[in-house]
Amino acid sequence: MIIFSKDVYPFTTENISGYIENMDLKDKSLLTLGSSLDQAYNALLLGAKNITVFDINVNVELFHKIKSNLILTCPREKLYDNVIESYYIEDKNSITDPNTFYKYNLYMHNDENYYILKDRLKENRINFVNGNIFKVNDSLLDNEKYDRMILSNVIQYLELYSINKDKYEVLKNTFKALKDHLNDKGIIQLLYYYNTRLINNCRLDDFFDGYNLNNILNNLYDDVDDITRFRLLEFDDGYGNHKDGVVLYKKR
């Protein structure tokens, strides 16, 4: 069974507001994952000119119609409750609490941002492609290229999507395919970490080593000497007990 194939996350579980402004999205094309649509909506707020939501979840486009319509028709302070009421969520553990939802999304920070998003949602800049990020070349992206990519934390699920295959080979092929779809000077939000100090009881460096990322990325990108060349952004998650973070890659 493929996880994430049907159940959406109603709201992000990532502190998107902690990193997304560092990606310089104004007038840029974006390929993004994220069944909550919050990555796409925050990018739209920041001026992305067109957005492709590439996700394995077959219900993302339907959820977009529901959630975007609610943004267009209800006040900011009512959005959280209306989303919960309007879409059946099977996994209740995936529901972010209201305070976190407001903190993690720039478009929920104030009424001005919320109204900007409303206006830009009317412009229909978001389109959808259903597909597996670990099989990018099997998708309908054709020869499309993008200025920016947001991969959420999908790489942490590599082993689940490479059963009976060499996971390192799958990762290599994935990065190569993504690079082929990335414009020069393009930026990828490559990895999102929940707690940069401990990931599944392992330190950050252990995670990199465990997935052989240093060697894989050095082989793929001539401009990368080692993983420290990637930019790790840390930010407080708001609960004071750890820091989340992202790794950004820029194509020279």
pLDDT score of 225? 36
**What pLDDT score was predicted for residue 199?**
46
Q: What is residue 1's predicted lDDT score, i.e. its pLDDT?
A: 37
Virtual torsion, Cα 77, 66, 4, 80, nearest 10 deg:
10
For residue 118, the enclosing domain spans 16-250
pLDDT at 213: 56
Q: Which residues contact 123 (CB under 8 A, 6 or more apart)?
A: none
**Per-residue model confidence (pLDDT) at position 245:** 76
pLDDT tens digits in sequence order for the chain, 252 residues long: 344 556 888 999 999 998 999 899 999 999 999 889 999 999 999 999 999 999 999 899 999 999 999 999 999 999 999 999 988 777 777 788 999 999 999 999 999 999 999 999 999 999 999 999 988 888 878 889 999 999 998 887 777 777 777 777 787 788 888 988 999 989 999 888 777 654 444 444 555 554 555 555 555 555 443 333 455 667 776 665 567 878 788 887
Q: Give a yes or no: residue 6 inside a domain.
A: no
In a domain, 151, yes or no: yes
Residue 10 lies in a domain: no
Would you say residue 7 lies in a domain? no
Beta bridge partners of 127: 52
CA 248 remoteness from chain centre: 12
- The total number of structural domains in the chain stands at 1
**Predicted local distance difference test score (pLDDT) of residue 89:** 76
pLDDT at 232: 62
- Per-residue pLDDT, 4: 55
Q: Which domain CATH number covers 111?
A: 3.40.50.150
Residue 11 lies in a domain: no
Please check whether residue 9 lies inside any domain of the structure.
Answer: no
- Is residue 177 situated within a structural domain? yes
Tell me, yes or no, whether 85 lies in a domain. Answer: yes
